[in-house]
Amino acid sequence: MAKQGFWDNPEAAQKVVRELKALKAVVEPWGDFESACSDAEVLLEMSLEADEASAIADLEKEAEGLAARLDRLEFQAAMSDPHDALDCFVSIHAGAGGTDAADWADTLLRMYLRYCERRGFATELVDRLPAEEAGIRKATFKVKGPWASGYFRAEMGVHRLVRLSPFDAAHRRQTSFASLDMMPEVEEAEVEVNEADLKVDTYRSGGAGGQHVNVTDSAVRVTHLPTGIVIACQNERSQHKNRRMAMLLLKAKLCQMQDEARQDELKKMYGEKGEIAWGYQIRSYVLHPYKLVKDLRTGVETSNVDAVLDGEIDEFIEAWLKSRIGGGRKKS
């Protein structure tokens, strides 16, 4: 940044500034924590020599505060993937369970939007496909905020719901499934896409959205022929904006596939067993015959189902992220 001509290319300069800011956000808190621990250690030695009970009691409270800071730092250290600090796209798909699954997918969409609201993340709906009777078949939204990809990486997988079905005349118990996928929003230059590999279709947007959306071919569907990936976007009012958003999603998906391939190679090299962090059931939400939400990866559970469905899922996310670095610091 100190080099002459650094600001001649504002776009490249801003990229470096963002990188510096992200690095400082990781390094500086550890330096501050180390200094605070050293100061507390010196004060403890002085208090013990002077036999000052009140000072020792204050230091015990200080130690509790330092332990809480360490928890937060360990939590941040768990987000070590190069893309964890980026904004991301989140897709929710209804699975097995018919109308109940579509309704469950819609419930999950609301839960994650409420979670983003609580964290101060900005969200933008990219695509939403309603189901025939109720709920949604799929939906994609963009999340903007610090470490958005890192947080939502913890939620990738299949979510299982058990409840008395509101769509069954006999009101029988029903098990439904929905999945969540997350794709970091990568830099434009990080993934190259050959235009010759694309098939682009336009069509009229469905559902509510105003007169303009319903009468023009503003929706865009992009098919990446080599991989078969299909990305649809219809939330923007112009075809140009929908195409740009679809391309961002496509590049994010291609980058994710590359990451998955690298992870598979690492597992083969080191002989790691077990399933990867996506594509399998990660959490159960039981509403009948009892109330319980349980994460099947970490064992974290709560009976406060209503709070969880209202977006209070930090406990599950933090537990999984800490498990990536060996479970974090043991409590004593």
Let me know if residue 83 belongs to a domain.
no
Is there a domain that residue 1 lies in? no
Instruction: Evaluate whether residue 209 is within a structural domain.
Output: yes
In a domain, 114, yes or no: yes
Q: Are residues 173 and 194 in the same domain?
A: no
The answer as to whether 329 is a domain residue is no
Same domain, 92 and 173: yes
Q: Is there a single domain that holds both residue 18 and residue 99?
A: no
The β-bridge partners of 136 are 130
218 with 261, same domain: the answer is: yes
Q: Are residues 96 and 144 in the same domain?
A: yes
328 in a structural domain: no
How many domains are contained in the chain?
3
Spell out the per-residue pLDDT of the chain, length 332, in tens: 889 999 998 888 887 887 787 778 778 888 999 999 999 888 888 888 877 777 778 888 889 889 988 887 877 777 777 788 888 999 999 988 889 999 999 999 999 999 999 999 999 998 888 998 899 999 999 999 888 999 999 999 899 999 999 988 888 899 999 999 898 887 655 567 788 888 888 877 665 444 444 446 678 888 988 888 888 888 776 888 888 888 888 888 887 777 666 555 444 433 333 332 334 689 999 999 999 999 999 999 999 999 999 999 999 998 998 887 764 444 43
Mark whether 110 and 176 lie in a shared domain: yes
Same domain, 92 and 181: yes
Closest alpha carbon to 218 in 127, 123, 93, 136: 127
Q: Which residues pair with 67 in a beta bridge?
A: none
Is residue 139 located within the same domain as residue 280?
A: yes
Q: Are residues 280 and 263 in the same domain?
A: no
Q: What is the 3-state secondary structure (H, E, C) of 91-142?
A: EEEECCCHHHHHHHHHHHHHHHHHHHHHHCCEEEEEEEEECCCCCEEEEEEE
Assigned domain for 208 exists: yes
What distances in angstroms separate CA 26 from CA 29, 79, 100, 115, 185, one per listed residue? 6, 10, 43, 23, 20
On whether both 120 and 146 belong to a single domain, the answer is yes
CA distance 155 to 90: 10
For residue 132, being part of any structural domain is answered with yes
CA angle, residues 177, 138, 197, in degrees to nearest 5: 120
Tokens for 182?
């997350």
Dihedral angle, C-alpha 121, 124, 129, 133, nearest 10 °: 60
The CATH code of the domain that includes 279 is 3.30.70.1660
Does this model's pTM top 0.75? no
Sheet containing 219-224: order of strands = 198-203, 219-224, 229-233
Whole domain around residue 280: which residue ranges?
88-185+273-323
Identity of the amino acid at 120? G
| Same domain, yes or no: 123 and 163 | yes
Give residues with Cβ within 8 angstroms of 149, minimum separation 6. Answer: 81, 83, 84, 85, 86, 87, 88, 182, 184, 185
